[in-house]
């Protein structure tokens, strides 16, 4: 058997405010070649060709997108909020420069989508090397803004129906996207009936971080709920998202989604799965509770 080249991501213990610390878990993917490697002002951006997982986008050595399983994350970030709202016309996506969340949001026919991604290199690399993910970034309904999401949302009051945060982990500059001031600005930027969803890490790998996220979310929103998705190339294969609103409960959102009639083409998400995703194991419920 010949020598294989592997790309490994190591996961730290994940307790406290950050994911920094001693690595305790590792995931590796066999790769064939590097397609792109660059250092932006914010992070190292890489795209590699893998064996079995297609092309893979990594940021600072962490798996962000693989062509094989990206649909799980992007569908589950976008469709629960869009389906629960039912008629979202103006949508804000913070992060998500790979374009996958934009692709899924557009399936609901909004009038306008603002993509706010601070790192232009992520957008450019995704467009060139991951067209199946980034192909909808050129849609005329999409406005791409390479600015800081924290500053962007602070200036938009009563503007959006749905806000989705497709962010990195809560480390370094990204920590602000997991704090109450940002959550409150997003709440103010939502219209009546608006919904805010952010990715909220792995319940197995990052329990203390998730407790902190929900403590901050409760300062900005009346209603919260964790929901889950099976994401093979993210830490432990189980990933969570936080559904938040000041007007719509999780139950009401599930009922709206169940009554939806507009067909959307998906590989993972469906109306039955929507409600089931909010059913949590007991240990995970404790991470959400006050």
- Torsion on CA atoms 280, 19, 120, 188, rounded to nearest 10: 50
CA–CA separation, 209 vs 202, rounded Å?
9
Beta-strand (E) ranges in 122-217? 142-145, 160-166, 190-199
pLDDT of res. 2: 56
The pair of structure tokens assigned to 90 is 């103006």
Apex 196 CA angle, 155 and 268, nearest 5: 135
CA–CA separation, 11 vs 88, rounded Å?
36
- Rounded to two decimals, the pTM is 0.95
CA–CA separation, 162 vs 169, rounded Å?
21
Active site residue 166: yes
Which residues does residue 286 pair with via DSSP β-bridges, in sequence order? Answer: none
pLDDT of res. 282: 97
- CA Rg, the chain, in Å? 18
Which residues does residue 49 pair with via DSSP β-bridges, in sequence order? Answer: 33, 55
Q: What is the CATH number of domain 70-288?
A: 3.40.50.150
Residues of the chain with pLDDT under 50: 1, 15-19
Apex 134 CA angle, 205 and 229, nearest 5: 30
Strands 238-245 and 223-230: antiparallel
What is the CATH architecture of 5-66?
A: Roll (2.30)
pLDDT of res. 25: 84
pLDDT of res. 4: 82
pLDDT of res. 16: 42
Residue 19 phi, psi (nearest 5): -95, 10
Give domain limits for the chain: 5-66, 70-288
- In the set 69, 114, 119, 166, the catalytic residue is 166
């Amino acid at each position: 058997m010949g020598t294989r080249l592997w790309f490994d991501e190591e996961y730290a213990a994940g307790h406290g405010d950050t994911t920094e610390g001693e690595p305790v878990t590792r995931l590796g993917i066999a790769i064939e070649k590097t397609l792109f490697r660059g250092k932006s002002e914010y992070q190292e951006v890489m795209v590699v060709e893998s064996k079995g997982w297609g092309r893979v986008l990594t940021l600072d050595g962490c798996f962000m997108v693989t062509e094989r399983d990206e649909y799980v994350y992007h569908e589950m970030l976008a469709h629960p909020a869009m389906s629960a709202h039912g008629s979202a016309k103006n949508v804000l996506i913070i992060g998500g420069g790979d374009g996958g969340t934009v692709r899924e949001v557009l399936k609901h026919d909004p009038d306008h989508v603002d993509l706010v991604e601070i790192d232009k290199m992520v957008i450019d690399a995704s467009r060139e090397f991951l067209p199946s993910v980034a192909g909808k970034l050129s849609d005329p309904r999409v406005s791409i803004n390479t600015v800081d999401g924290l500053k962007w949302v602070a200036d938009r009051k009563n503007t959006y129906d749905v806000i989705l945060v497709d962010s990195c982990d809560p480390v370094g500059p990204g920590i602000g996207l997991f704090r109450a001031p940002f959550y409150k600005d997003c709440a103010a930027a939502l219209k009546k009936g608006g919904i805010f969803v952010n990715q909220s890490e792995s319940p197995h790998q990052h329990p203390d971080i998730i407790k902190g996220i929900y403590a901050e979310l409760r300062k900005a929103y009346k209603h919260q709920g964790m929901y889950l998705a099976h994401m093979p190339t993210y830490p432990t294969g189980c990933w969570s998202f936080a559904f938040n609103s000041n007007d719509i409960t999780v139950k009401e959102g599930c009922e709206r989604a169940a009554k939806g009639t507009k067909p959307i083409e998906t590989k993972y998400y469906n109306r039955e799965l929507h409600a089931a995703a909010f059913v949590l194991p007991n240990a995970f419920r404790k991470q959400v509770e006050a």
